[in-house]
Amino acid sequence: MGVEVRIEDLSANEKIVQNTLATAQKLSEDLKRTAVKEAEVIVGEAEIRFATQQADVTGPEAAKLSGALVCVENGKLRYLNFDQLLDPETGRTRVRRVDVAKPAYRIARQYMIRLEREDFDNREKLSALAAAASTGARSCTPEEFEKRFRYLVTEIRGGL
């Protein structure tokens, strides 16, 4: 086999590899776009359902529905009132284990409102978070907020 034939074979193989990589990248981007659209639909549906549930509640129960954690369990939407998330003994958020390597978690994480390290480093942001955590019965200082919630900020591992 001559050098020219070998060069032609390698060039043809290079084109095949380039086309394969380009196709794989396009498919990956298409999958991500589709997943994001599906997540937007799920979040939108959750917002509508939660708002509808709030509209149907009156009296003292309405005051309890200030917000909820929306989660998907076994393919179904669930709403957990923020009070349900707290451990009554410690007053801290109960730990819910998830597989952070799964694509569903990685996509959902993009939509999460969560505490980050920077939130505790920025005094103005910390004050705003403390004010949001305050209730009519009890105000929360930035120091109290940090003491109570800083432990939640950790490095996420698992393919992110």
- Pick the more confident residue, 67 or 73: 73
Mean pLDDT along residues 130-141 = 84
With 50 as the cut, is the pLDDT of residue 160 above it?
no
- Pick the more confident residue, 77 or 5: 5
CA–CA dist 156, 30 (Å, integer): 26
Domain ranges across the chain: 3-113, 114-160
Q: Where are the alpha helices (DSSP H) in 56-133?
A: 60-64, 103-111, 117-121, 123-133
* DSSP code of residue 95: P
So what's the pLDDT on residue 63?
Answer: 47
Single pTM value for the model: 0.37
| Least confident segment among 53-57, 58-62, 92-96 | 58-62
CA–CA dist 53, 47 (Å, integer): 10
CB under 8 Å to 153, separation ≥6 — which residues?
115, 116, 117, 119, 120
